[in-house]
Amino acid sequence: MNPIRWPGLAIVAALTVIYLATLTSDYYWDGITFALQIEIMAKHKRGPSLLFHQNHLLYNALGYLLYQSARALGLSARAINLLQIANAFAGALAVGVFYRMAERATRNRYAAVVCSAALAVSAAWWKISTDADAYILSILLILVCANNLFGANPRWPVARAALAGTMLRQIAG
C-alpha cells in the first residue's frame, strides 16, 4: 500500500471507532422523523412516497435499504441507530477526503493532520457525524466532488456523479 495513504486511512479508522463509540442520544428532530418514516414504510403502513422527502430525496431511500439489509441479516436494530452508524462512517470518510485535499493543498502531512483533526472534533462536525440527520452524506459527496475536481488529473465523471448525488440528497433543505 502507498505510504502516502496511511495517515488518511488511520484518520478514517480512528474517527469511525470514536464516532461509533459516541453516538448521540440528543437527536435532531429530522433524524427521528426519517427513522420513523423508514420503519413505517418497512411495516407496509404507507407507500414508497414516504421515503422521498422533498428536501432529502436520497437519504430515506438509502436508510430504508440499510434498514432492510440489516433485517435480512437477522439484525433487529432500529432505523435511527442504523442511520447514526451510517453517518459515523460518512463523517469519518469525509474527514479522510478532507485530509487528502488538505495534504495536497499544503504539501505538508503534519498540517493536513492538524487541520483534519480540528475539523473532526469540532462540535458541529461531531454532532452531524453521530446523529441520524441527513447532512453529513451531502458534505461527504461535496468533498468527493471537490477532491476529484481539484487534483492534478481532474476526474470529471466522478465529480459529476458526486455532485449529482449531493443535489439529489439535498435539493432544498
Q: Hey, is 102 helix, strand or coil?
A: helix
CA distance 166 to 133: 15
Instruction: Please count the other Cβ atoms lying within 10 Å of the Cβ belonging to residue 98.
Output: 23
The confidence band for 83, taking pLDDT boundaries of 50, 70 and 90, is very high
CA distance 93 to 160: 19
Q: Say which residue, 122 or 172, is predicted with more confidence.
A: 122
pLDDT confidence of residue 152: 77
Q: Say which residue, 119 or 6, is predicted with more confidence.
A: 119
The mean pLDDT value for 153-169 works out to 71
pLDDT confidence of residue 7: 83
Residue 23 has pLDDT above 60, yes or no: yes
Which amino acid, 49?
A: S
pLDDT confidence of residue 106: 94
Residue 134 has pLDDT above 60, yes or no: yes
Residue 53: φ, ψ to 5°: -65, 140
The mean pLDDT value for 10-30 works out to 92
Residue 171 has pLDDT above 60, yes or no: no
Q: pTM of the full predicted structure?
A: 0.84
CA distance 55 to 170: 6
CA distance 120 to 72: 33
